[in-house]
Amino acid sequence: MKVDHLTGNNIITAKKAKNALKEMLMEFLAEKRQVVVLTDTNTKIHCLPVLHRMTENILTKTPVITIPSGEQFKTLETAAFVFKELAALNIQRNGILINLGGGVITDLGGFVASTYKRGIDTIHIPTTLMGMADAAIGGKTAVDIESIKNLTGTFYIPRAVYIFPEFLKTLPDREILQAHAEVLKYGFIHSPQLLEVLPVNPENFEHMISLCLSIKQEITETDPLEKGVRKLLNFGHTVGHAFESLALSRQQSLLHGEAIASGMACELFLSHKLTGLNKKELDNYIKTRFIHFPKLYIGTEDYPLLMQFMSNDKKNMNDQIMFTLVQSPGNAVYNMSVSQEDVVECFDYYRSVSN
Ligand SMILES: NC(=O)c1ccc[n+]([C@@H]2O[C@H](COP(=O)([O-])OP(=O)(O)OC[C@H]3O[C@@H](n4cnc5c(N)ncnc54)[C@H](O)[C@@H]3O)[C@@H](O)[C@H]2O)c1
């Protein structure tokens, strides 16, 4: 199947995934195309053996490139390492890069695939809940530069995304929980039933993944290049990415979803102030969802740096920081310009509910 690298997601879920993946790999091998697997240090240990078992060992002779795990390695330097490894393996333009990992691997591997020799085919096999419900879908690739989240990247749809929830068996609890922040985001912008996902319940994972990925698929296929409606998916991310960048710059541990949970607290406050979100909904989020996530300590001395990080947000227009805000659960609006005073007020609010 030919997939356009800007539009059209080819997502294959559990029941059909094993056979479909095996068939696609057999096709590549029959065509003598070179296949390479990208893992991080954890997915090499926990997920590569599972992939070999699922594909009946047809990939055991395939070269594997491994990078250190963690957001701090989603950088141009790591991408350069992968480019060099691909070149050392003499991977040609018809080669295929399989990204086996969480959002860091699919963002970075997707970026490498989209630019190596001006673009080679790529397949995502997400191994985290964050990856299955969100990061591997929609074709955004990125690396961070000097702690600025996703400063450089491309839109590049993989040949296919294969979803195997069985990878989640080895995923640590903290990683499972943080992914629930993105699921709550889908609840606020699209489907309020997803606001009921906490406390964590593994029995719900498959249903939750399938709901989230169908929402993301619908939105990203309508607006692949984020000119309009796709901006809804950034709810919680304008402030959340600034928090994540602050933590990265301080070398402090804060997972992406944890930053987004805090970002949503701030942006729900702005939603209450500016787009009419009911105070009850704001309080309800803080009391029943936000409490589950670790918080980042911020003081007033951090505000200038947070503002600076937000000035790099990709939704900004004409030097204005633009937000996606919620009017009521399931109903959100994008391109909302927010004054610096209101942003400072949302930081003050965050400190009052988190410290
Ligand atoms: N492109 C997008 O649309 C999009 C959307 C959301 C998030 N993201 C990005 O995704 C990243 C976060 O993704 P993530 O939370 O998956 O992070 P991650 O890739 O760092 O994975 C989290 C941790 O789990 C480990 N791991 C992965 N799978 C495992 C498994 N099955 N068993 C045991 N350990 C495993 C990893 O090694 C890592 O330590 C961020 O960089 C974020 O910006 C991108």
Residue range 150-174, pLDDT digits in tens: 999 999 999 999 999 999 999 999 9
Q: Are residues 115 and 182 in the same domain?
A: no
Nearest to 54, CA basis, from 187, 169, 166: 166
Atom of ligand 1 nearest to the CA of 70: 20
Ligand 1 atom index nearest CA of 149: 43
217 and 112 part of one domain: no
Which of 170, 203, 222 is at the close of a domain?
A: 170
H helices of the chain, where? 14-30, 41-46, 48-54, 76-88, 103-115, 129-130, 173-189, 205-222, 237-249, 256-274, 279-288, 303-310, 340-354
Does some domain include residue 103? yes
Tokens representing residue 191 in the block: 């489907």
- Ligand 1 pocket, residues with Cβ under 6 angstroms: 40, 42-43, 46-47, 69-71, 74, 101-105, 107, 127-128, 130-131, 134-135, 138, 140, 167, 170-171, 175, 256
**How far, in Å, from the CA of 209 to the mean position of ligand 1?**
15
Q: 102 C-alpha vs ligand 1 centroid, how far in Å?
A: 3
CA 300 to ligand 1 centroid distance, Å? 30
Residues 39 and 59 in one domain: yes
CA R_g for the chain: 20
How large is the greatest C-alpha to C-alpha distance in the chain, in angstroms? 61
Query: Nearest C-alpha to atom 9 of ligand 1 is from which residue?
Result: 103
What sign has the CA pseudo-torsion 108, 110, 115, 120?
A: positive
- Per-residue model confidence as pLDDT tens digits over 308-329: 999 988 888 888 899 999 999 9
Evaluate whether residue 126 is within a structural domain: yes
Euclidean distance between CA atoms 262 and 350, whole angstroms: 8
Q: Taken in order 119, 46, 182, 74, is the CA torsion positive or negative?
A: negative
Q: How far apart are CA 232 and CA 187, in angstroms?
A: 12
Token match 């105070």: residue?
Answer: 279
pLDDT digits (tens, 9 = 90+) for 86-104: 999 999 999 999 999 999 9
CA of 151 to the centre of ligand 1 (A): 18
Residues in the chain, total: 355
Mutating to test ligand 1, I would choose from 48, 107, 150 the residue with most ligand atoms within 8 A of its C-beta, which is 107
Model confidence, pTM: 0.96
- Between CA 299 and CA 306 the distance in angstroms is 11
Report how far ligand 1's centroid is from the alpha carbon of 256 (Å): 8
Please state the atom number of ligand 1 nearest to the C-alpha of residue 41: 37
> Half-sphere exposure of 129 toward its Cβ, with a 13 Å CA cutoff?
29
State how far the Cα of 131 lies from the Cα of 143, in Å rounded to an integer.
16
Q: Is residue 46 very low, low, confident or very high in pLDDT (cuts 50, 70, 90)?
A: very high
- Residues 164 and 101 reside in one and the same domain: yes
Q: What percent of the chain has pLDDT over 90?
A: 92
The helix, strand and coil proportions of the chain, stated in percent and rounded to the nearest 5, come to 55, 15, 30
Let me know whether 53 and 144 are in one domain: yes
Is residue 5 one of the residues assigned to a domain? Answer: no
- CATH code of 62's domain: 3.40.50.1970
Q: How far is the CA of 126 from the centre of ligand 1 (A)?
A: 8
- Give backbone dihedrals phi and psi of 153, rounded to 5 degrees, phi first: -175, -175
Identify whether residues 205 and 287 lie together within a single domain: yes
